[in-house]
Amino acid sequence: DAGVIQSPRHEVTEMGQEVTLRCKPISGHDYLFWYRQTMMRGLELLIYFNNNVPIDDSGMPEDRFSAKMPNASFSTLKIQPSEPRDSAVYFCASSTLGAGGGKLFFGSGTQLSVL
């Protein structure tokens, strides 16, 4: 298995632009998580899905952030409009159980820079 695949690896954009991050989870994994990593706040859970349904989006910082999972093999995280404080590494992870049940498999992340 190729693991969790994220794209793009790096994204540089200007403030106000729309940004879309993409994730392909491991086949057969029922849970998908979006995390944001910054030096100040560490790893923060933004949202997670179970069987393509959003379960907990309490970590989504603002209405500018939205996430979708149209099918079991694809998810997007969209920021519109983007702001400099959104600069961070965004990780997607998948698992067969909830995060507290077992191993999370992380992708390599998307390094987002908003100028």
Partner 1 sequence: GENVEQHPSTLSVQEGDSAVIKCTYSDSASNYFPWYKQELGKGPQLIIDIRSNVGEKKDQRIAVTLNKTAKHFSLHITETQPEDSAVYFCAASKGYSTLTFGKGTMLLVSP
Radius of gyration for the chain, computed over Cα atoms and rounded to the nearest angstrom: 13
Indicate the residue among 72 and 104 with the shorter CB distance to partner 1. 104
Q: Pattern 74-103, binding to partner 1, x per CB under 8 A?
A: -----------------x-x---xxxxxxx
SS3 67: strand
Q: Which of 34, 28, 32, 21 minimizes the C-alpha distance to 1?
A: 28
We find the least distance from the C-beta atom of residue 47 to partner 1, in angstroms, to be: 10
We find the least distance from the C-beta atom of residue 91 to partner 1, in angstroms, to be: 5
We find the least distance from the C-beta atom of residue 39 to partner 1, in angstroms, to be: 9
Indicate the residue among 15 and 43 with the shorter CB distance to partner 1. 43
Site residues for partner 1, 18-57, by CB under 8 A, read 33, 42-43, 45, 48, 56
Chain centre distance of CA 98 = 16
User: For residue 40, what is the DSSP state?
Assistant: T
User: For residue 80, what is the DSSP state?
Assistant: S
Indicate the residue among 43 and 115 with the shorter CB distance to partner 1. 43
For 102, phi then psi, to 5°, come to 175, -155
Residue linked to tokens 């057969």: 28
> Which residues form the interface with partner 1 (CB under 8 A)?
4, 33, 42-43, 45, 48, 56, 91, 93, 97-104, 106-109
